[in-house]
Amino acid sequence: MTALTLSTAGAATLRADALVVGVAKAGKALVVAPGAEAVDKAFDGRLAAVLETLGASGGEGETTKLPAPAGLKAPVVLAVGLGSAPEDGEAYKSETLRRAAGTAARALSGSKKAAFALPVGSAEDAGAIAEGALLGAYSYDVYQEQAKDAKKPLAEVALLGAKPRDKAHKAAADRALAVAEEINRARDLINMPPNDLYPATFAAAAQAAGKEHGLKVQVLDEKALAKGGYGGILGVGGGSVNPPRLVRIAYTHPKAEKTLALVGKGITYDSGGISLKPAGHNETMKCDMSGAAAVLSAVVAAARLGLEVNVTGWLALAENMPSGSATRPGDVLRMYSGTTVEVLNTDAEGRLVLADALTKASEEHPDAIVDVATLTGAMVLALGDRTFGIMANDDDFRTAIHEIAEEVGEQSWPMPLPADLRKTMDSPTADMANMGVRMGGGLIAGLFLQEFVGEGITWAHLDIAGPAFHEGAPYGYTPKGGTGSSVRTLVRLAELTAAGEL
């Protein structure tokens, strides 16, 4: 993992492989952002002019490298675009700084140390830059045996302009390190191939994390699931040689007054089961456990931050495969709640494992439950591949999560739960079916899950099917592959709950 330091040195005197500065658009002109005054001075006040000559525009995500002049200890200056400069008296947005730092960290892969001289007007700015740089420096090369000599991620981030002796700045940096490391934990799990990450090994990873951070971990194996009547999880996992698991991982604080339950879909590989996915739709289905990875990371982050709130994570783990023992379309499953469900499509499996986990989580009567899942392609069609949908049984809670996601830089959108769609899941054979009408499929999935939330418990559902796995070129602090979507939102939700603001 990339190291993070808060440096008291000036930009001109710190020894590093590269010095990162920000540039922005101010009308038609290119301007150097605050934090880079010493660097601009080393260029005799002509840094913006030199960059313009090289074609720099200050556009967001743009990078320009140039050799450093005499007067700077670093041999290279990297200018990263911040987009439009803010109005006088206003600061750059946190997400702008986060993305710029991530872009710079990616551009400096192979470097041992980079000094970031981006605008730091507050502890929040320092945290955003640190978080972005640490996330941007991520790479997953565990299986690349023939790429041993490839460029390694940036090894150290030195943050300039922050105040190491200031409690707020130090706390922001510590928080950024903990959150970024946990997001990267989720990314590693998502990127791991499914022949190595299956329910038992995922459960073992949760146990290892729990042991490291003093968390209580309980694992129900296939025998315990059968004894307990977890028909949803067993029905989905029955076709695989890798049996399912239900993991409970809990962080408790002696001063906590509230409890959050987080429930994650953990389909370690989704072939679709008997309702087999066609070629072109199954190659990235190792990512169908992204919700469970996010939940695990959020619980560990809450523990590392010492938040005064109890956070319990439930990881519903199964592998959805076709075989002679797999659930068939037309089968009826008796869920942990006792509800019977006719399975019309075995590729609508995530809601089945989540249903059992939601019922189990409800038995502990938490103050709120949030489930996270790569649940429906319909949500991707509705919102695209960078935005997750939010559904809830409480409008205020849905709004709060949307605002939290916006605050931490995760794109989301509130979605409805139309009551008229519920009847389309009626079954002539069972209490309900796992499918309804095709249109509004993402909303129908949310309505299905709502049936398994305990009475009187505030609940929200995050469908992260779009942003959980990025198949395009990296951008900002977002890599190709697993992204760790929703971890920041869940951690911030826990923080605000601990502070009594929710």
Structure tokens at 373: 């899942």
- Rounded to whole angstroms, how far apart are CA atoms 262 and 248? 10
Are the C-beta atoms of 5 and 174 separated by less than 8 Å? no
Cβ(215)–Cβ(249) below 8 Å: yes
What number of residues does the chain have?
Answer: 502
Residue 495 sits at the vertex; the CA angle it makes with 492 and 499, to the nearest 5 degrees, is 140
Classify residue 89 as left (phi > 0), alpha (psi -120 to 50) or beta. Answer: left
Among residues 132, 246, 266, 249, which one has the least CA distance to residue 189?
A: 266
Q: Give the DSSP H/E element, type plus range, for residue 260.
A: strand 259-270
State how far the Cα of 176 lies from the Cα of 215, in Å rounded to an integer.
Answer: 21
**Residues forming the active site:** 277, 351
CA distance 419 to 164: 53
DSSP string, 348-375: --HHHHHHHHHHHHHTT--SEEEEEE--
Q: Is the dihedral of CA 98, 489, 109, 60 positive or negative?
A: negative
Closest by CA to 462, choosing from 407, 381, 367, 397, is 397
> Nearest to residue 468, comparing CAs of 288, 206, 325?
288
CA 387 to chain centroid, in Å, comes to 12
> Which structure tokens are listed for 379?
């949500």
Token code pair at residue 163 = 């105040």
Those residues with Cβ within 8 angstroms of residue 457's Cβ, 6 or more apart along the chain or in another chain: 362, 365, 366, 367, 368, 369
